[in-house]
């Protein structure tokens, strides 16, 4: 019969040694985790020359599997096409990143922002102003 005490004593030694280790807990609300470079969080519309790069080509709402993007094209003073309306419904978004892949003008990216909880449904609708890249 194997000695029944040694495994218990060994285990107790290990737990005791862990007692004096520094906890690996991330003190979350105070300390934010470092997200990976290619993390797919909240979208951002890239800005160039003080306006969104988006040309309202409708590729992103077309490719979106969750159908959460709504774009409406408009015409600016230079007769260029631009996104008059650009909305992403974050309640439907599945963070697949297809919209970013599809974008022909590299106008869309995904940020490391992941704290998207909110109190009202309407707060999950991200309109263009909320999506514009923060510099």
Partner 1 sequence: MDNVILGLPMYYYVAMVAKVLVAFVFVLLSVAYATYAERKIIGHMQVRVGPDRTGPMGLLQPIADGLKLFFKEEIVPGESNKLAFLLAPFIALVPAFLTFAAVPFGNTIEVMGYKIPLQIAAYYDTGMGKVVDLNVGVLYILALASLGVYGIVLAGWSSNSKYSLLGGLRASAQMISYELAAGFAIIPVFMLAGSLSLHEIVKAQEGFRWFIWSNPMTFVGTFLFYVCALAEINRTPFDLPEAETELVSGFCTEYSSMKYAMFFMAEYANMVTVCAITATMFLGGWDGPFSSTIPILSPIYFVAKVYFLMFLTMWIRATVPRYRYDQLMSLGWKVLLPTALCLIVLTAIAGSLGFNTFFG
Q: Which of 91, 83, 81 is nearest to 126 (CA)?
A: 91
CB of 23 vs partner 1, minimal distance in Å: 5
* Nearer residue to partner 1 within complex by CB, 22 or 34: 22
1-20: contacts with partner 1 (CB under 8 A):
8, 11-12, 14-16, 18-19
Instruction: Give the whole-angstrom CA distance, residue 98 versus residue 67.
Output: 11
CB of 33 vs partner 1, minimal distance in Å: 16
Give the H/E segment covering residue 101: helix 98-102
Residue 135, exposed/middle/buried by CB under 10 A (0-12, 13-18, 19+)? exposed
10-69: contacts with partner 1 (CB under 8 A):
11-12, 14-16, 18-19, 21-25, 27
CB of 13 vs partner 1, minimal distance in Å: 9
């Amino acid at each position: 019969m194997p000695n029944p005490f040694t495994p218990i004593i060994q285990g107790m030694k290990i737990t005791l040694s862990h007692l004096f280790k520094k906890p690996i807990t991330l003190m979350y609300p105070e300390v934010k985790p470092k997200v990976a470079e290619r993390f797919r969080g909240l979208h951002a519309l890239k800005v160039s020359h003080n306006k969104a790069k988006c040309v309202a080509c409708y590729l992103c709402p077309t490719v979106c599997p969750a159908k959460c993007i709504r774009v409406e094209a408009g015409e600016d003073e230079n007769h260029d096409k631009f996104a008059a309306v650009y909305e992403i419904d974050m309640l439907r978004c599945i963070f697949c990143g297809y919209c970013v892949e599809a974008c022909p003008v590299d106008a869309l990216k995904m940020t490391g922002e992941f704290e998207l909880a909110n109190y009202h449904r309407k707060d999950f609708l991200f309109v263009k102003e909320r999506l514009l890249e923060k510099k």
